[in-house]
Amino acid sequence: MIEKLLYLNWKLFLAKLTKFQTILLIGYALFLLIMLVNLMGSALIVIFLDSTSSLQLDLAWLTPEIHKLILLTFATVFWILHFSFTSTRLLNMEENRKLLALGYPAGKLSRHLNLMCLYHPVNVIYNLTWLVFLSLQINSMWNIPIVVAAVLLNYGIIYSIKHRFLHMVEKRFKIIVFSFVFVIFGVISALAIISRQTQAILGEVAIQMSQLIDVLLLLPGGLLYQAATYSHTPILTGTLFFFLVVLTYMVFRDHYYKTKEGLMTPSSIRVRKEVSRLWIFLRRWLGYNAGKYYYYVMTHSYNRLQLFAIALIPLIYIPLLLAVDFGVISLILIATMIAAIPVALLGMGMANMFGYEHRELLLHLQFPVSFERQLKERFLGIITVPLFIFYGITIFELLRLPQLGSAFSIYIANTFFFMCFMIVFLWSSFYQYQKASYSSFSFKHPIIPQKVTFTMSTAIFILGYTVFVPLGEWHSYRLWVMTGLVIAITFYIMKNFDLLARAFKKRILLKLWSDF
């Protein structure tokens, strides 16, 4: 039966592949291969660091204690990587659920799906690297069963934490966001202090190395390290193994039941009453059409995380970049980062303009209000909010970064940045249309296709360097070119405003109609 399940998932996977995605897949496979080699290589280098004579001669400072510190740091960092990048749920649950109707027993399907997750390439790579890393350090044969059980338990716990964490993020969004802000600010502040007083602080750390090792030993990576290196008596090994096996069994049992529950009740929605103040506010501010559209954008679970990222990254990096003295590079980076904020907001709203409402747009088409007007209102609504931020940042730059240039050049540079992306997003919303969805089971980008996100990120930095890098006496030429292009783009958009409705009817409408 599992062969057929594997075959189905493989077919599902292939059926959705476009040519571009096939190329991406090849790239992904190469990336996994390189990652495996790198991780294994790193693990081996770290382990054999003190046993190679040539290395010992060259690295006289490598005392056993420092070596242990390096091993523990590697284990901790590797665990964080494992936690961050492991793919727990990449299977198409909705499609696999259909097997239930074809007589596939729910319990068996749940068990098989969990097994398939364990065999996902990313999980295999991390678990295998752990096994190699830990196996090479074992003290005795007694450590082997402990290491195997610990690696399995580690995988199971990461799986559980990630699954439950994603659910928690959805439910307790505000608390999580504020906790993150608090923690990240704490870490960044600590790093900033360390970077300014390196010698004094590291000197102190060196003295307290044993204490640091003690702490690292208690972190997840350290605990795995202990599983391989501690000397165990047979009785202790037996007891440890017993508890690890019991724990692993319980965690996997939990996975089994949770997956089964998910298969049986795919989208158990709790009915709850609510009145949205955000909708009332946006309706009053932007009107019915733009207000509704922006309400959809803002209430989308994924966008709330996006907004958090958009706000957080500049909040952390800009003060840091302002504090350090990197001259021109800092200046370009800050200007690019700031200009990217409204662009990111614009991308959120515009890059897949029809994906949020999807079939609902058919109802809008039936209203006795010109559809062109409805789309125009949406379009203006989408640019209104980023424009407010755009003016805010321009004022900030004028006050805090006068070295960027005159008020006119800052304004033109930011406008150019904004307009370029606006036109790209406008095209993207027609050519990259897809239903905006969000699922805690999926790590795929749910709103804008990955290729658009990737292209945008690259383009932001390329354009940032083009627009903000000092050109000396050539600056005025660049200014004129940008001004000309801003005027051209403005005219293009104004002249082709009806394009919004025409392109919708030509490219999107039939897809919406046939998508039941």
Partner 1 sequence: MERALVIQQLVKSYDKKTVLKGLDLEIPSGNIFGLIGPNGAGKSTLIGILTGLLDYDEGYIEINALEYKASNELAIKKDVASVLQPPLLFENFTSYEFVTYVCEMYGVDGNGLNDKINSLFNYFEIDEFTHVKAKQLSSGSRKKLAFCAAILTEPKLLFLDEPFESVDVISIGRMKSVLRKLKEKGTTIFITSHILEVVENLCDDIAILHKGKILAYLDSKTRRDLEKDSNLGEIFEQYVEVKSANEELLNWL
List residues binding partner 1 (CB under 8 A): 269-276, 279, 288, 292, 295-296, 299, 357, 359-360, 362-363, 365-370, 505, 509-510, 513, 516
Nearest distance in Å: CB 293, partner 1: 11
Tokens representing residue 328 in the block: 């021109």
If DSSP codes are grouped into helix, strand and coil, which group holds residue 481? helix
Per-residue DSSP letter, 276: -
The smaller minimum CB distance to partner 1, of residues 266 and 319, is found at: 266
Nearest distance in Å: CB 367, partner 1: 4
Lookup result for tokens 């109707």 = 101
DSSP characters over 125-182: HHHHHHHHHHHTT-SSTTHHHHHHHHHHHHHHHHHHHHHHHHHHHHHSHHHHHHHHHH
Task: Let me know: does 284 contact 291? Beta carbons within 8 Å.
Answer: yes
The smaller minimum CB distance to partner 1, of residues 314 and 355, is found at: 355
Nearest distance in Å: CB 515, partner 1: 11
Distance from C-alpha of 335 to C-alpha of 464, rounded to nearest angstrom: 7
The smaller minimum CB distance to partner 1, of residues 154 and 289, is found at: 289
Task: Let me know: does 467 contact 482? Beta carbons within 8 Å.
Answer: yes
Nearest distance in Å: CB 281, partner 1: 13
End-to-end CA distance of the chain: 31
Query: Is residue 305 packed enough to be buried (19+ CB in 10 Å), middle (13-18) or exposed (0-12)?
Result: middle
The smaller minimum CB distance to partner 1, of residues 224 and 353, is found at: 353
Nearest distance in Å: CB 387, partner 1: 24
Cα angle 446, 3, 161 (rounded to 5 degrees) comes to 45
The smaller minimum CB distance to partner 1, of residues 51 and 366, is found at: 366
The smaller minimum CB distance to partner 1, of residues 123 and 289, is found at: 289
Distance from C-alpha of 245 to C-alpha of 236, rounded to nearest angstrom: 14
The smaller minimum CB distance to partner 1, of residues 370 and 490, is found at: 370
Q: Going by C-beta distance under 8 Å and a sequence separation of 6 or more, which residues neighbour residue 372?
A: 497, 498, 500, 501
Nearest distance in Å: CB 288, partner 1: 6
Length of the chain in terms of residues written? 516
Nearest distance in Å: CB 427, partner 1: 23
Nearest distance in Å: CB 349, partner 1: 15
The smaller minimum CB distance to partner 1, of residues 260 and 292, is found at: 292
Q: For residue 401, give the amino acid letter.
A: L
- The stretches of 48-105 forming alpha helices (DSSP H) are 53-58, 64-85, 93-101
Task: Let me know: does 100 contact 191? Beta carbons within 8 Å.
Answer: no
Nearest distance in Å: CB 279, partner 1: 7
